[in-house]
Amino acid sequence: MYIQVGGAVLTSATIYLAVAEIRNRTHYNSHTLRESRERLEALRKPATIPENSKPYIARPSLIETMKDRWNDELEGIWRWAQSLDSVRIREGLEEKTGNIVRNLQK
């Protein structure tokens, strides 16, 4: 009887250790394959270049930088002024002026 129990314990311990080893190797292989896939996918993707609105240009002095900022602001104001609808603004002013005149006449 003791021999049969000893054999069962030995067999079950051997099976348990074998299953544990297989599980560990499977986990390791899975992890390695995932890493390999990620690296290969990273090679296929195009390199991302950070998008700067303007590339960095070394300025000779603070005065030159201030001039450039001033010019950028003026260009922005000019573009904004060009985007305005002068007909709509004129009609709005005419309407407001007409309302003021009518109110004054009353």
With b meaning 16 or more CB within 10 Å and e meaning fewer, what string describes 55-72?
eeeeeeeeeeeeeeeeee
Q: What is the pLDDT of residues 18-53, one digit of tens each?
A: 999 999 999 999 999 999 999 888 878 777 776 766
In this structure, are 68 and 25 located in the same domain? no
- Whether 54 has a pLDDT exceeding 80, the answer reads no
pTM for the whole thing?
0.38
In this structure, are 10 and 37 located in the same domain? yes
Record the tokens describing residue 101, joined without a space.
């005149």
In this structure, are 2 and 41 located in the same domain? yes
In this structure, are 4 and 36 located in the same domain? yes
What is the rounded CA–CA span in Å between residue 4 and residue 100?
112
Going by the DSSP 8-state scheme, the letter that residue 22 receives in this structure is H
Q: What is the pLDDT of residues 69-101, one digit of tens each?
A: 899 999 999 888 888 888 888 888 899 999 999
Which range marks the domain in which residue 40 is found? 1-48
Cα separations in angstroms, 8 against 4, 5, 70: 6, 5, 89
